[in-house]
Structure 1
Amino acid sequence: CLCLKLVRVGVPQYKLRGELAVLECHYELEGDSLYAVKWYKENEEFYRYVPKSNPPQSSYRVDGIKVD
């Protein structure tokens, strides 16, 4: 099967406003190619990585989120 295997997602449980938070998504492609990785806060997309797009990274305004 060509599929993506999610290995681990790392998201801090709590952060104070203004504190840095690092979000991690570890996966194995298992022979397939990556189409996209997307991050959401309360059903609103705030970050997208699509390797075949130019540019591959996009971020969107969502209250309480600052992508650096």
Structure 2
Amino acid sequence: MLSTDDAVSPDKKEYFADGAVSLQLLELRVPSHVPLGTRAQLSCRWQLGPADVLYSVKWYKDGKEFFRHVPGDLEPRRKFPLPGVDVEVFIRKPMVALVLKENGKSLNTVENNMRPARGRIAPRPERAGAGRSARAAPSSAFARSSLLPLLLRRARVSSLARALT
């Protein structure tokens, strides 16, 4: 099994809804290099505010969604077909871990997106744009990419709309 020593500890990046902590990304683990044809374990761990409920955790590969966990849906876990990628899912609150086997196609970037069920999400003003990102070397299969900016862009509009329904 591949070691997942490459972890992003985003210094507990906090997102706020009406002045209260709504979502904290505690840890994101994505190996920076994975040999072709081997398995990689990806995980993200979070903490919600006391009155908040998780709406979704989504994973993307090169901009295409390949896994979605929406606890309130009739089908809470969905895998989306992605050529060359097999997904095994392990969910332990408050964490989602995926084991991916890449079958011959290079996975240039992997992204994660999560959001609470209600409230407008916004970073503290002094932390705006403080997201972490990294790119893999050309020979690697997986890389972290644009986690926090992706979370903020998608959550600002859709989280508030979802809360009103």
Number of residue pairs aligned between Structure 1 and Structure 2: 68
Match in the other structure for 1:59: 79
Match in the other structure for 1:7: 26
- The one-letter amino acid paired with 1:63 is P
- TM superposition shift of 1:63: 3.0
- TM superposition shift of 1:2: 4.7
In the alignment, is residue 33 of structure 1 matched against residue 53 of structure 2?
A: yes
Gaps of 5+ in 2: 1-19, 89-165
Q: Which has the larger radius of gyration?
A: 2
Gaps of 5+ in 1: none
RMSD: 1.3
Structure 2 CA distance, aligned partners of 1:54 and 1:2?
28
Deviating beyond 3 angstroms after TM superposition, the runs of 4 or more aligned structure 1 residues are none
Match in the other structure for 1:42: 62
- TM superposition shift of 1:54: 2.0
Structure 1 CA distance, aligned partners of 2:32 and 2:44?
15
- TM-score calculated relative to the size of structure 1: 0.88
Structure 1 CA distance, aligned partners of 2:63 and 2:53?
25
Match in the other structure for 2:35: 16
Identity %: 37
Larger strand share, 1 or 2: 2
Larger helix share, 1 or 2: 2
- TM-score calculated relative to the size of structure 2: 0.39
- TM superposition shift of 1:20: 1.3
- The one-letter amino acid paired with 1:34 is L
